[in-house]
């Protein structure tokens, strides 16, 4: 059955990745294009202010913009979703091995739904709250390493805290009840991530207007582009995790039905 769970996770991730990419292609990529256009125009303005113009940046790109937004983004999104599907399946297998044995009446589809919500919060929501996604041209090149390290730190710790919270909730369930145990574990998780975020550095690097003395030579980065990019990034992850969870739960239902049918057939053979 474990192999079937892994297969279900991979299939769910594949479907979720395809849909998430289509959404990103329609809604996120236009924001990325606007950000790139702003970056190029600002670079030209900076060169003009410096007293030299290198033209339209004659160096060619390794991959064209068309390849990046169609092939690169598609492959990246789908590979990420499939990996999340595999991790989701492994986490479900471990969790169900305990719950299925300890609480046989538990519906595995409900476990998958709860796991999907926990995964969304731990893997995406908390790291995004700490360090919201930014389109290209937002951010200082000198802080890329620090920003990447901080984001990776909060992501890893968020997942670790989430695992600890689930273990705590399961430990508390027979002692104080499932509801109180879940609330206590969730509060512990929130406190842990809040302390972690408070200890990590902050980054506010949205480019302001380019000044020439006291005059604005070039406007700052458009706030609506940042806002739309972040909104669509959230929607994209909601779509990915929702489809991943729903498809996985549907496949679980099919597996349960097949298992019941097989058990019924075996019983009929034994009775015959």
Task: Tell me the pLDDT tens digit for each residue of 217-263.
Answer: 888 888 899 999 999 999 999 999 999 999 999 999 998 888 777 65
Give the three-state DSSP class for 103.
Answer: coil
Q: Residue for token digits 């390290």?
A: 149
Task: Tell me the pLDDT tens digit for each residue of 19-37.
Answer: 999 999 999 999 998 988 8
**pLDDT for res 220:** 85
Q: Where does the pLDDT of residue 43 fall: very low under 50, low under 70, confident under 90, or very high at 90 and above?
A: confident
Contacting residues for 14 by C-beta, under 8 A, at least 6 apart? 78, 81, 82, 85
Q: Where does the pLDDT of residue 271 fall: very low under 50, low under 70, confident under 90, or very high at 90 and above?
A: low
Cα(16)–Cα(75) distance, integer angstroms? 13
DSSP string, 26-78: IIIHHHHHHHHHHHHHHHHHHHHHHT---TTT-SPPSS-HHHIIIIIHHHHHH
Q: Where does the pLDDT of residue 39 fall: very low under 50, low under 70, confident under 90, or very high at 90 and above?
A: confident
Q: Which two tokens stand for residue 267?
A: 């019983």
Over residues 190-217, the mean pLDDT reads 88
Of 6, 16, 256, 225, nearest to 120 by C-alpha is 16
**pLDDT for res 143:** 81
Task: Tell me the pLDDT tens digit for each residue of 47-99.
Answer: 888 776 555 455 556 566 677 777 778 899 999 999 999 999 999 999 999 99
Task: Tell me the pLDDT tens digit for each residue of 97-145.
Answer: 999 888 888 899 999 999 999 999 999 999 999 999 888 777 777 788 8
**pLDDT for res 45:** 84
- Residue positions counted in the chain: 272
Contacting residues for 15 by C-beta, under 8 A, at least 6 apart? 243, 244, 247
């Amino acid at each position: 059955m474990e192999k079937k769970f892994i297969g279900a996770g991979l299939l769910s991730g594949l479907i979720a990745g395809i849909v998430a990419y289509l959404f990103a292609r329609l809604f996120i990529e236009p924001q990325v294009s606007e950000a790139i256009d702003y970056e190029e125009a600002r670079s030209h303005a900076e060169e003009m202010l410096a007293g030299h113009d290198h033209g339209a940046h004659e160096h060619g790109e390794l991959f064209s913009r068309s390849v990046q937004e169609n092939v690169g983004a598609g492959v990246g999104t789908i590979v990420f979703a499939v990996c999340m599907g595999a991790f989701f399946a492994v986490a479900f297998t471990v969790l169900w091995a305990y719950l299925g044995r300890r609480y046989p009446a538990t519906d595995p589809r409900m476990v998958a739904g709860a796991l999907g919500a926990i995964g969304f919060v731990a893997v995406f929501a908390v790291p995004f709250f700490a360090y919201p996604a930014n389109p290209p041209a937002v951010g200082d090149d000198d802080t890329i390493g620090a920003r990447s390290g901080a984001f990776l730190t909060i992501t890893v710790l968020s997942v670790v805290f989430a695992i600890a919270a689930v273990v705590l909730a399961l430990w508390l369930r027979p002692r104080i009840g499932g509801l109180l145990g879940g609330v206590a574990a969730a509060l512990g998780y929130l406190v842990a991530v809040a302390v972690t975020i408070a200890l990590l550095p902050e980054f506010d690097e949205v480019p302001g207007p380019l000044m020439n003395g006291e005059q604005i030579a070039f406007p700052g980065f458009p706030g609506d582009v940042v806002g739309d990019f972040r909104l669509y990034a959230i929607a994209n992850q909601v779509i990915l995790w929702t489809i991943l969870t729903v498809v996985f739960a549907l496949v679980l239902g099919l597996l349960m039905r097949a298992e019941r049918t097989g058990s019924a057939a075996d019983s009929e053979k034994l009775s015959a």
